[in-house]
Amino acid sequence: MSEMPILQVKNLHTSFFTDAGEVRAVNGISYNLDRGKVLGIVGESGSGKSVSAYSVMQILTDTGRVTEGEILFNGDNILKYDDKQMAAFRGSKISIIFQDPMTSLNPVFTIGNQLREAIRIHTDRNKEEIQARALEMLQLVGVNEPEKRLKQYPHELSGGMRQRVMIAMALACEPDILIADEPTTALDVTIQAQILELMQDLQKKMGMAIIMITHDLGVIADMCDEIIVMYAGKVCERGTADEIFYNPRHEYTKGLIRSIPRLSEKHEKLVPIAGTPVDLLNLPKGCAFASRCDRAMKICLREHPEEIRVNENHIAACWANVLQMYEEEQGGTNA
């Protein structure tokens, strides 16, 4: 055990209390994030990946609430912060960029107004310094003609430009952690690559840790130190990027990997995952993925699998692993 992780999430449960009932979006996930590392969270829509990030930022909507668990930032439980502490914490220690840059910037204020506000909140710089910092940030994220951009309104910028502005805004106060909530999903493919490259570049320069949320395993393959695969608010599998890619131990992960298009293997068909995501209003008793799983066993429908350490760098929650280990062990004793 070296240094303390900058962020520890322990057994986090988040629910939305709607008219139809309690929607259990996150059901007990735990992870650690080390200083300066990149953690990828992968899952399909509704798997709770964004909600887990919003829980960390405490920016859930009115109906959402963390019902259980702890979120430790440098050992401090931020769930115990009051409103004022939380406001000071957001943006300065942890920042976030969102999926859709088209709607994430306020349409009735200029870029400069919004960028300067982000800087002003967390520093006591004077007007000129703030303006200089805003310009510097825009240059850093590669926005051309930054002086002019500061005076423009969001609708006058392209999607890629707006996402760059969002990144500039998020990083303006040099946070320790940057959460990127599907930062490239709403962008063109060519722009996607640019934005990812920019983020990697900035990470090297500024040294913050990144939580990269995406539904696209391919996007984060070579960026992440560690990957968490989520399904129905639970962790399916987590481990180093190599482990997840080359040694997946959960049927859902395998399905995700099979559904990534690859250029190298020309004639291989893409295999979609059959079925639809579960209803978070009534979670099934057993493994949430069982009904879509080709290798589902009777036990999968009855009991939820615990997280099992597969090896040093890899944990998975799948009954198939239990069976496999049992068979290996049996084989070992028989031999």
Partner 1 sequence: MTESDAKKRKMIVLMLLALVLAVMGWIFLPIKSEKILCTVVLALSCGAVFFSNDTGRYVCKRILLALLTILIIAAITFFAMNAIPGGPFSKEKAPSAAVQAVLEERFHLNEPIGTQFRLYLEGLMQGNFGVSTKTGREIATTIFSSFAISAKLGGYAALCAVILGLILGSIAALNRGKLADRIIIFFTTLFVAVPSFIMATLLLLVFCLQLNWFPIFSTDNPSYVLPVIALMLSPMSYITRLTKTSMLDVLGQDYIRTARAKGVKQWKVIFKHALKNALIPVITYVGPMTAYILTGSMVVESVFTTGGLGTKFVQGISNRDYPMIMGTTIFLATLMVTMTLISDLVYKAVDPRIDFN
Partner 2 sequence: MADFDPNVNPQKRPFSLQLDLAQFEPATEEEKAQQETMRESTTFFKDGMRKLRRNPLAMGSIVVLLLLLVTIIVAPMIVPYGYSDMVTVNGKRDKSAKNLAPFQYSKMEQQAIDTGENIFPHIFGTDELCRDYFIRVVYGARVSLSVGFFASLIVLIIGLLYGSIAGYAGGRTDLIMMRIVDIIYSLPDTLMVILLSVVLDQILGQRLQGTILASIGTNMLSMFTVFGLLYWVGMARLVRGQILTIKNNEYVLAARAMGAKPRRIIRKHILPNCMSVIIISTALQIPSAIFTESFLSFIGLGVQAPMPSLGSLANAARAALQAYPYKMVFPAVGICLIVLSFNLLGDGLRDAFDPKLRK
Q: Which of 13, 22, 30, 113 binds partner 2 (CB under 8 A)?
A: 30
- Closest CB to partner 2 among 129 and 207? 207
- Angstrom distance (rounded) from CA 42 to CA 230: 6
Closest by Cα among 101, 118, 117, 232 to 175: 118
* Contact flag: residue 62 with partner 1 (CB under 8 A): yes
Number of Cβ atoms within 10 Å of the Cβ of 288: 24
Q: Which of 92, 110, 152, 240 binds partner 2 (CB under 8 A)?
A: 240
* DSSP symbols for 136-165: HHHHHTT-SSHHHHHHS-GGGS-HHHHHHH
- Closest CB to partner 1 among 164 and 234? 164
Those residues whose C-beta lies under 8 Å from the C-beta of residue 13, and which sit 6 or more positions away, are 24, 26, 27, 28, 66, 67, 68, 69
- Closest CB to partner 2 among 79 and 301? 301
Binding mask 307-326 for partner 2 (x = CB under 8 A): xxxx-xx-x---x--xx-xx
- Angstrom distance (rounded) from CA 140 to CA 174: 12
Q: Which of 56, 278, 316, 318 binds partner 2 (CB under 8 A)?
A: 278
- Angstrom distance (rounded) from CA 302 to CA 304: 7
> Of the ranges 86-94, 99-107, 131-139, 273-281, which one interacts with partner 2 (CB under 8 A)?
273-281
- Closest CB to partner 1 among 147 and 197? 147
Bridge partners of 308? Answer: 316
Instruction: Give me the least distance between CB of 278 and partner 1, in Å please.
Output: 25
Instruction: Give me the least distance between CB of 93 and partner 1, in Å please.
Output: 9
* Contact flag: residue 236 with partner 2 (CB under 8 A): no
Instruction: Give me the least distance between CB of 116 and partner 2, in Å please.
Output: 36
- Angstrom distance (rounded) from CA 40 to CA 334: 41
Those residues whose C-beta lies under 8 Å from the C-beta of residue 300, and which sit 6 or more positions away, are 286, 287, 290, 293, 319
46: left (phi over 0), alpha (psi -120 to 50) or beta: left
What radius of gyration do the chain's Cα atoms show? 21
Binding mask 68-97 for partner 1 (x = CB under 8 A): ---------------xx--xxxxxx--xx-
Binding mask 155-194 for partner 1 (x = CB under 8 A): xx---------x--x-------------------------
- Site residues (vs partner 1, CB under 8 A): 57, 59, 61-62, 83-84, 87-92, 95-96, 98, 100, 103-109, 117-118, 121-122, 151-153, 155-156, 166, 169
